[in-house]
Each structure stands twice: as C-alpha cells, then as structure tokens.
Amino acid sequence: MTNETVKQQLIDKFGEVVTNFSEPYGMMTFEVACDHNLKVLQFLYEDPSLGFTFLNDLTAIHYPDNKGKELAVVYLLQNIREGLRIRMKVYTDINKPDVYTATSIFETANWLEREAYDFFGVNFVGHPNLIRIMNVEEMDYFTLRKEYKLEDQTRTDKDDEMFGR
C-alpha cells in the first residue's frame, strides 16, 4: 500500500469530496469537505484494504486570513500494519465551527477533541463530554487562536517591527 493507492481509492469512493492532495515530506495530506469527515474516516477505518485503524493525532490550526475556512482540524491516521501515515484536514468557519466528532470510531479522539475545543473552540458535534480539558471551565475565550498574542499588545516600549513576528 502506498500513498498513490490510498489516494486512488479515496477519489474512486468520494470523488469531489476529497480534494487538494499533496505530499509534504512524504506524508499524504488531503482535504475533506466539512460534513463528510466521518464518512471518510469510517471508510479509511473499515475498508479491509486500507485499515487506518490508529488515530495518531488530532489537532486544530487557526488561519485568520482564510475567510470562511478559518479553523482547520487535522487528523493524523496510521495503518499500523503497513506503517503508513496520512493526514486529513477539515476546514470550518470560525463563526460556526461545527465538525462531527470522531469519538464513535476512535476512543483516542475523546480527549484530543476536548483539547482542540479548549484551545480553538472547535465544536465537535456529538461529542459525549465536550468540556474544557486544560483550562478552567469559566474561561470564555479560546487561547490558541491567533488573535491572542502572547505579549501585552498595548506595550509601547518595544519596537517589534524588526525583530519577531
């Protein structure tokens, strides 16, 4: 099994839903339409010729300039038998960040999704216990979003123009 065969199987099965295939540093990366993520995960999990039964990692990324698709949820799946990893991305709108939960397929996803919710505010629809995991419950903002800079933004004694982001 190679990246190519997985890609072909996905395109044959889902057609337009899976897009933007690329291979950064050898790991196949693709995008899935937001409301189809569970179907694709299920297919990758259950199809005997694919067998991506191991969810390595799940996290979210915030792209504030990507209007309408600000939040990305990244799934890193692995076929343990073949040692092949693939990366699946789902983009969602920050004003309505609804993504179906993967907890019904992977128990791993439970806390990882809670973490993504805690840091980025991705609302995982159907999650059994979607509460904050690291921060306190009373917090009303999502810390890892890009609008929250680490340093005090009102600070005037330092010129950031040349050094630093």
Partner 1 sequence: MKCLDVKHPKPLERNKKMSQKQNIQLPEGGLGKQTTTLNLGPTHPATHGVFQNILEMDGERIVDAVPTIGFIHRAFEKIAERRPYYQITPLTDRLNYCSSPINNMGWHMTVEKLIGAKLPKLVEYLRIISRELARIADHLVCNSVIGVDTGAFTGFIYVFEFREKIYEIFEEVCGSRLTTNIGRIGGFERNFSELAFAKIKDFLKQFPKVMKEFEALFNRNRIFMERTMGVGGIAAERALNYGFTGPNLRATGIDYDIRTAHPYSSYEDFNLSIPVGSTGDVYDRFLVRNEEIWQSLSFIQQAMDKIKDLDPSVYHADLPDFYLPPKEDVYTKMEALIYHFKIVMGETDIPVGEVYHSVEGGNGELGFYLISDGGRSPYRLHFRRPCFIYYQAYPEIIKGSMLSDAVVTMSSLNLIAGEIDA
Q: What single string gives the DSSP state of each residue in 66-102?
A: STT--EEEEEEEEETTTTEEEEEEEEE-TTS-EEE--
Q: Which is nearer to partner 1, 17 or 61 (CB)?
A: 61
Q: State the residues that interact with partner 1 by CB under 8 A.
A: 24-25, 27, 29, 53-57, 59, 61-62, 74, 76, 80-81, 83, 85, 87, 106-108, 110-112, 115, 119, 132-135, 143-144, 148, 150-151, 163-165
Q: Which is nearer to partner 1, 12 or 136 (CB)?
A: 136
Q: Which is nearer to partner 1, 33 or 74 (CB)?
A: 74
Residues 74 and 60 sit within 8 Å (Cβ to Cβ): yes
CB count in 10 Å sphere of residue 45: 17
Residues 89 and 60 sit within 8 Å (Cβ to Cβ): no
Q: Which is nearer to partner 1, 3 or 35 (CB)?
A: 3
Q: Which is nearer to partner 1, 15 or 24 (CB)?
A: 24
Q: Taking the complex as a whole, how short is the minimal distance between the CB of residue 48 and partner 1, in angstroms?
A: 14
Tell me the sheet residues that pair with 92: 71
Element (H, E) at 62: strand 54-62
Q: Taking the complex as a whole, how short is the minimal distance between the CB of residue 9 and partner 1, in angstroms?
A: 21
Q: Judging by beta carbons within 10 Å of its beta carbon (0-12, 13-18, 19+), is residue 112 exposed, middle or buried?
A: buried
Q: Taking the complex as a whole, how short is the minimal distance between the CB of residue 39 and partner 1, in angstroms?
A: 19
Q: Taking the complex as a whole, how short is the minimal distance between the CB of residue 95 and partner 1, in angstroms?
A: 21
